[in-house]
Homo-oligomer: A and B are copies of this chain.
């Protein structure tokens, strides 16, 4: 656990056909863990400055684009059907690889792992994803990457990966614990009245 410091920027990447809970779950966790906005500033970021239509037709206006967003300290990469397109969008995979140099933690949720794989950030790591996407992930990681099928989330230091959809909340709580301590993560879970599934 690091000393708490003020004002980490948490960028939540969103894209067409993102799974709603994949991004909204961690968004809520970092909000609940923010100590009235002091410790985390959470915002959405997309490739372009136009509404993003998530799965089910939920329309979100990104707060920023990748060209103008505040420098992220944490980056959340959610999954969902559209991750199969974004994983092949080099503008996005290049941007993620670039910001990853100076970033504290990247958290992938669900099939967000596919995007990190194509950004070549998973080489030699232990990784996980949605239970139904294990084979897809295996197809895009090198043999040095170990896929953990049973984990709720996996921590590689800078890169944390969660299993499917709701597991993103558990992994985000784990990130709050890692940065601000267990009490703060439990407090965030309590605010959400959420039963944190810890690995």
Interface residues of A (CB under 8 A from B): 19-21, 24-25, 27-28, 31-32, 42-44, 51, 55-63, 130-131, 163-167, 169, 191-195, 197
Q: Which of B21, B51, B57, B192 contacts A165 (CB 8 A)?
A: B192
Q: How far is the CA of A113 from the CA of B32 in the complex (A)?
A: 20
Q: Hey, which chain B residues are within 8 Å of A20, CB to CB?
A: 24, 27-28, 31
**Number of identical monomers bound together in the oligomeric complex:** 2
- Residue of A21, A32, A63, A130 most packed against chain B (CB within 10 A): A21
Q: Supply 4 further A-B pairs (C-beta < 8 A) apart from A58-B60, A163-B193, A167-B193.
A: A21-B25, A24-B58, A32-B165, A165-B193
Whether A193 and B130, one on each chain, are in contact in the complex, defined by CB atoms closer than 8 angstroms, is: yes
What's the Cα separation between A79 and B73 when bound, in Å? 30
If A42-B57, A56-B42, A58-B44 touch, whether A28 touches B165 (CB-CB below 8 Å) is yes
Please provide the 4 A-B residue pairs with the shortest distance between their CB atoms, ordered closest to farther: A24-B24, A164-B193, A59-B61, A21-B28
Among candidates B59, B131, B193, residue contacting A63 with C-beta atoms closer than 8 Å: B59
B57 touches A60 (CB 8 A): no
Chain B min CB distance to A1 (Å): 24
